[in-house]
Amino acid sequence: MAAHGLAGKRLMITGAARGLGRSIAEAAAAEGARLVISDILEAELEQTAEALRDAGAEVEALVIDQADAASIEAGLARVAEGGPLDGLVNNAAIATNVGGKPLEEYDPALWDRVMAVNVRGVWQMTRAALPLLARAERGKVVNVASDTALWGAPRLMAYVASKGAVIAMTRAMARELGERGICINAIAPGLTHCEATEYVPEERYAHYAAGRALKEEQHPEDIDGTVLYLLSDWSNFVTGQLIPINGGFVFN
């Protein structure tokens, strides 16, 4: 495993202050990766960075607003000072309090905000990272989508649409970036117990657990292994793919 793993690789993980992003960062650090973590939540980001450093990881933390192209460009300029990137995880997204209303009552301003972060932000972050990824032997990008886009979760229109766009972009990007030796794939987690979903009623978690092939609730660490595989050399001939990680709630 060591020859194909993450030891010494330099990875950037967005939205890493908490939840899925923090869990992925912790798992990658445990495998010996060097990390760049980013988020808009400055205090929580620094807490995460300190915890990772205390555990022995090499970590750089950057406050980046994924809805702001200038913030992305400035942040990636800082990242470039440290050399190439072996991998990028586009995890940052708006997922909290974005649903609950039927499509005819959805707030256009909220729609635009979700699209700016969850869709345009993924494109702009990937675009800014391309020169660094192209310098790696085999650059990897992992986009975090959602299984809501696979089954059409109701009363969650903007979020579902944004994650469907991430899946479509991943496939288009794979066609373009393959010529540069870059692999890009997407994962589609199910409803996961973390800070971003604290507003979800417990009965919704129970509904998901009952509908899964594995009758269990999902937690951030359930996602880590697949992401690490997609960032490692074990997946060097895998690109343009979507991997649902939801315990069998919906199949791809």
Q: How many residues appear in the chain?
A: 252
159 catalytic residue (yes or no): yes
Instruction: Please pick, among 106, 159, 208, 229, the residue that the annotation labels catalytic.
Output: 159
Instruction: Locate 187 and state its tokens.
Output: 């994962």
Instruction: Locate 219 and state its tokens.
Output: 């937690």
CA angle 246, 15, 37 (to 5 degrees): 120
E strands in the chain = 10-14, 34-39, 59-63, 87-90, 140-144, 183-189, 242-245
Instruction: Locate 132 and state its tokens.
Output: 């660094």
Task: Report helix, strand or coil for 25.
Answer: helix
Residues with Cβ within 8 Å of 194's Cβ and at least 6 positions away in sequence, in order, are 18, 19, 20, 23, 219, 220
Active site residues: 159
